[in-house]
Amino acid sequence: MENLLKTLVYDGQVSLTVADTTELVKEAVKLHGLKKGSATVLGKVLSAAAFTSAALKEERGEVSFTIKGNGTGGSVNVSGNQALHIRGYLENPEIDELDEAEILGEYGSLTVIRDDGYSRPFVGSCAYPFAVSVDALFEEYYRVSEQLPTFLATKVELDEDGDVLFAGLAALQPLPFTDEATLNGLPKGKELERIVEAVKNKGIKGAAKELFSAKDDGITLRRASYTCHCSRLYLTQVLAAVGEEQMRQIIREDGELRVHCHYCNTDYVFLDEDADKIFARKK
Ligand SMILES: [Zn+2]
């Protein structure tokens, strides 16, 4: 089902994105066995990543986010593409306590690599803002690195057992010609959080229509999902490039060659018979 909506609001001066990322975050929690604190932080970054990914223009476009800080969560790695396939992981999935600032840490940075599919990728980064949260970090990134004022709120709601009840996002991005009065009047912080709350209660369309008088014909609906692109076939190609000798040596020493995908927590195991198949053509 479509879960991300984009439209222009404020007389076409501001781009609005609202998303219900509940299913996406649920999938991440299931794959990684995330406890509550870890689920909240990763879920928020995945939701923000869906917003950034929805701005990719080219079909081959991809964007990746790395948060490195001195918090209990360790590093956070998330990537997304133009098809809104989002995936990611957090180094420490075991944090139960829900303290965003503690999980992210006091010092750190967010690095974004955006590959629009042509020429060189754009690499931008920013240091943690003073009061760090996932939302503040993404706002800081847009302000410092892309010079695009962006107001963003993400939300992950869990029940006692850590099951995801709701996850969502609201973001406003003024276009370059936005007038001063509109800019100053945009909902920020708590007001933006109320828009995410409206997404939960009224759905993405309901929230956009009720709060911004969005019209059906100006709305773009898309689907963001937790999808990993790893595959055994792809790894087979990688191993073919690594070479037979090295592959056989690892299998001889360890009994198998194991490749782990952090994004979907999947192990791929290769044995001698797989090496036989991969390198058969050459004999
Ligand atoms: Zn994977």
Q: 150 CA to middle of ligand 1, Å? A: 31
Distance (angstroms) between ligand 1 centre and the Cα of 228 equals 5
Tell me phi and psi for residue 206, to 5 degrees: -60, -45
Domain boundaries of the chain, sorted by first residue: 4-226, 232-282
**Residue 208 scores a pLDDT above 90:** yes
Question: What's the CA-to-centroid distance between 88 and ligand 1, angstroms?
Answer: 9
The CATH-assigned architecture of domain 232-282 is: Alpha-Beta Complex (3.90)
- What is the H or E stretch that residue 123 is in? strand 122-127
Report CA(3)–ligand 1 centroid distance (Å): 23
267 Cα–ligand 1 center, Å: 9
Range picked from 76-85, 180-189, 227-236 for highest mean pLDDT: 76-85
Q: What angle do CA 96, 99, 103 make, to 5 degrees?
A: 80
Q: Give me ligand 1 centre to Cα 259, in Å.
A: 10
Check for a shared fold between 4-226 and 232-282.
Answer: no
First to last CA, the chain: 49
| Four-residue CA torsion sign, 123, 128, 133, 136 | negative
Query: Does the reported pTM lie above 0.85?
Result: yes
Query: What is the tens place of the pLDDT at every residue in 130-175?
Result: 999 999 999 999 999 988 999 999 999 999 999 999 999 999 999 9
Whole-number percent of the chain with pLDDT over 70: 99
Residue 200: φ, ψ to 5°:
-65, -45
Specify the CATH number for 4-226; select among 3.55.30.10, 1.10.287.90, 3.40.50.970, 3.20.20.70. 3.55.30.10
